[in-house]
Amino acid sequence: MFAHSISLAVAEKIVDEVLRQGRERGFQPLTVVVLDDGGHIKALKRDDGASIMRPEICMGKAWGALALGFGGRELARRADKMSMFMNAASDLAGGKMVPVPGGILIKDGKGTIVGAVGITGDTSDNDEICGVEAVKAVGLTPDVGD
């Protein structure tokens, strides 16, 4: 067993809390995924009314954060300032990265990355708000890349 991976129970709580946050705030239907520290799906849900490509988008947000070790906000800045590098990284990753807010690293109390959450469906900023609140709700630390 990997020592630092997020548990299924915690991943499910994060996913459910993201959806609850989105509904409570009146956001568009969200889709959310939690990946473990190896980039594998632990939990994924697509709210009623969410469009069909949302799972791939939220995966790209979370996977990109894990792959490069930065939250989506920092990935977006780097994509803007170093587009050639980010394009090359995306190509190397088979197009899996979506470098925008809404990809959030999940850290434990020691600062170790235990997974990532990706959210999509509303604006990237609103997606990120729901993810940050959900990660905090389970006692872990969100890293959006500020």
Calculate mean pLDDT across residues 8-13.
98
Give me the phi and psi of 121, to 5 degrees please: 140, -35
Decide if 77 contacts 44 (C-beta within 8 A): no
113 forms beta bridges with 107
pTM above 0.85, yes or no: yes
13-22 pLDDT tens trace: 999 999 999 9
For residue 28, which of 105, 99, 96, 129 has the smallest C-alpha distance? 129
Determine the topology of domain 8-143 in CATH.
Answer: Beta-Lactamase (3.30.450)
**pLDDT band at residue 95 using 50, 70 and 90 as cut-offs:** confident
